[in-house]
Amino acid sequence: MATTTPKLISDKNEMRNWSRSMRAQGKLIGFVPTMGFLHAGHLSLVSQARSLCDVVAVSIYVNPGQFAPSEDLSTYPSDFQGDLRKLAALPGGVDVVFHPHNLYDYGHNSGDVAGEGGGPAASCVDGDGSGHETWVRVEKLEVGLCGKSRPILFRGVATIVTKLFNIVEPDLAVFGKKDYQQLRVIQRMVRDLDFSIKVIGAEITRESDGLAMSSRNVHLSPEERKKALSINKSLLKAKSAAEDGEVHCEKLSNLVIQCIAEAGGRIDYAEIVDQNNLEKVEQIKGPVVFCIAAWFGKVRLIDNMEINLSIGV
């Protein structure tokens, strides 16, 4: 089904029509939402969708709804032509790249409520009159970890993913475990709002030296990049210590915090939480995930590691 040159779609209705014509032909539709500047991590998600579905759509859209005014929306890296080349070069390629201009611009007289709103919107969180006012909140999962320092992040993520799901209408969507909290937010939202979409969590792709792949890595200086290796190294140490019998989370956290601080990183959080509800755990008794966010210079990196000890509860 797939060709190596993806079809480019920027219009919502054209996107939905494509998807519906695929469904009418009995094709299983896979979807990978991205913000572009694709790296091997993204491509692994696409390959997974490719292996599980008949056709694959990838969206490339930097979502203004998940950035606070103080955050890095304006400097978020992009390379659209490079992204297209990378997607085309994948075995099987992808069928569609959905690349909308502004998903919060409803124009005048759009929708069923006429009148107010409309016009191009630079950011939907600036109160610029685009009129967008509907937000999906996953009220418990959105608050901890990254939600503490980025309180509107998951509201923005859940909302844009709802919009994309309603436009692309996929059967299956792949999200990376790199953004572990995001994955859980989306899975919970899909369940609670009765989306008929299977959500797959894909393993983290790392550079050969262990750094988790991220579009933001490009902003690291060579020195910062070296220091940032302390994240993965310390997570591996903590995992190993847990496997050797250290089940007290405070001790494991301190080990990681110290290692990252010594390397020159500034910790945002380092928490061991339940893999499902992301609630903080004092002592490891079941499947947990060690989640970290830390600043190296002006770059905030996140990473995590699942720890699955073979202990009975």
**Residue positions annotated with a catalytic role:** 42
Give 23 or 86: the residue with its C-beta nearer to a second copy: 23
Burial class, 306, CB count within 10 angstroms (exposed 0-12 / middle 13-18 / buried 19+): middle
Closest separation in Å from C-beta 162 to a second copy: 5
Assess 289 for contact with a second copy (CB under 8 A). Answer: no
Give the footprint of a second copy on residues 207-246 (CB under 8 A). none
State in angstroms the smallest separation of the CB of 201 from a second copy.
Answer: 8
* Side chain identity, residue 27: K
- Cα-Cα-Cα-Cα torsion 193, 195, 197, 199, nearest 10 degrees, comes to -10
Q: Which is nearer to a second copy, 195 or 290 (CB)?
A: 195
The CA distances from residue 77 to 12, 61, 83, 151, in Å, are 24, 12, 12, 22
DSSP 174: E
Name which of 116 and 250 has its Cβ closer to a second copy: 116
- Which DSSP category does 200 fall into? E
Distance CA 57, CA 18 (A): 10
Q: Give the per-residue contact string, 158-197, with a second copy (x = CB under 8 A; - = no).
A: xx--xx--xx----------------x--xxxxxxxxxx-
Distance CA 48, CA 75 (A): 29
Closest by CA position to 119, among listed 108, 109, 127: 108
**By CB under 8 A, residue 198 contacts a second copy:** yes
Contact between 161 and 33 under an 8 Å Cβ cutoff? The reply is: yes
Q: State yes or no: residue 133 binds a second copy (CB under 8 A).
A: yes
| Subset of 53-72 contacting a second copy (CB under 8 A) | none
CB-wise, 136 or 256, nearer to a second copy?
136
| Chosen residue from 8, 89, 114, 236 binding a second copy by CB under 8 A | 114
d(CA 64, CA 119) in angstroms, rounded, equals 15
**Contact positions vs a second copy (CB under 8 A):** 12, 16, 24, 103, 106, 110-116, 132-141, 158-159, 162-163, 166-167, 184, 187-196, 198-199, 201, 274, 276-277
